[in-house]
């Protein structure tokens, strides 16, 4: 992954969040954009407390057919040309990581091909500013609630510390900022497919002592893929541990519950 491309993506992201709010909300995310675009401070509801997530967010990526908003996916990519180039490089890296996962599970190379015909990969661009939690009256000190990603896996770059991952005993481990390195962790879908043989990583963003940007690439299957434990991981001693999850309608309903179905007014 070219170091200069990652650096320019951070700069492009930083410049976007310096724009006036009135300009940013022109790219508001919603059902019509398949949730591509801008999510204002606190718009995403927390799953662990009564407030919202203490960051601004933006999503670019692939879509399933035409957008209902009347705008093209390219419209939402427009403020992030360097990030869009990074996204395309990440998809290549993601395919290589996924191939390694499949090989590690001793499965055939085409085992997951039916689920990856039109993958819905996403690139997230999050901005955590000091004081954002207080600005939306959050009562917790962490900036992003503990969660697992609805993805096969996530690749993250961060310019400042903040990312934390929970270890098996429940302690939170700080993920250091390592120059010219990317951090990878598994998501919910690979855990479901493997019936828990591979585990997803519960993670959060802790207190933010300095303004911080994170770039997250999520490797995802085709729209409406039903993710459920696969036969090689299920037997009499290991019955299915997870319900099927539809990455189309069910995932969209989840996003709508967290973000609201319409282009919400800024807070």
115-138 residue pLDDT tens: 999 999 999 999 999 999 999 999
**Residue extents of the structural domains in the chain:** 3-259
Q: What is the pLDDT of residue 223?
A: 96
pLDDT tens string 130-172: 999 999 999 999 999 999 999 999 999 999 999 999 998 999 9
Long-range contacts of 229-235 (CB under 8 A, 24+ apart): 229/192, 229/193, 229/194, 229/195, 230/111, 230/193, 230/194, 230/195, 232/105, 232/107, 233/193, 233/194, 233/195, 233/196, 233/197, 234/195
Per the prediction, the chain carries an average pLDDT of 94
pLDDT tens string 63-86: 999 999 999 999 999 999 999 999
Share of the chain above pLDDT 70, in %: 97
Q: Which fold has domain 3-259?
A: Jelly Rolls (2.60.120)
Q: What is the pLDDT of residue 54?
A: 98
pLDDT tens string 29-67: 999 999 999 999 999 999 999 999 999 999 999 999 999
Of the pLDDT bands very low, low, confident and very high (cuts 50, 70, 90), residue 264 is very low
């Amino acid at each position: 992954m070219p170091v200069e491309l990652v650096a320019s993506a951070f700069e492009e992201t930083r410049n976007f969040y310096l724009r006036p709010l009135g300009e940013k909300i022109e790219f508001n995310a919603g059902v019509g954009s398949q949730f591509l675009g801008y999510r204002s401070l606190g718009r995403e509801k927390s799953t662990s407390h009564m407030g919202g997530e203490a960051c601004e967010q933006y999503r670019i990526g692939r879509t399933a057919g035409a957008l209902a908003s009347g705008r093209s996916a390219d419209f939402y990519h427009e403020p992030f040309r360097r990030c869009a180039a990074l996204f395309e490089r990440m998809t290549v890296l993601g395919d290589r990581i996924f191939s390694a996962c499949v090989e590690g599970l001793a499965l055939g190379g085409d085992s997951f091909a039916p689920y990856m015909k039109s993958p819905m990969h996403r690139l997230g661009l999050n901005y955590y500013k000091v004081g954002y939690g207080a600005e939306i009256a959050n009562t917790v000190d962490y900036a992003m609630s503990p969660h697992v990603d609805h993805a096969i896996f996530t690749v993250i770059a961060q310019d400042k510390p903040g990312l934390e991952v929970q270890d098996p005993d429940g302690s939170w481990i700080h993920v250091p900022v390592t120059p010219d390195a990317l951090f990878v962790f598994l998501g919910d879908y690979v855990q479901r497919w493997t019936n828990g043989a591979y585990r997803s990583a519960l993670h959060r963003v802790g207190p933010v002592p300095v303004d911080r940007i994170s770039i997250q690439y999520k490797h995802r299957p085709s729209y409406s893929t039903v993710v459920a434990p696969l036969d090689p991981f299920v037997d009499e001693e290991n019955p299915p541990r997870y319900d099927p999850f539809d990455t189309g309608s069910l995932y969209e309903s989840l996003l709508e519950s967290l973000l609201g179905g319409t282009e919400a007014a800024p807070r």
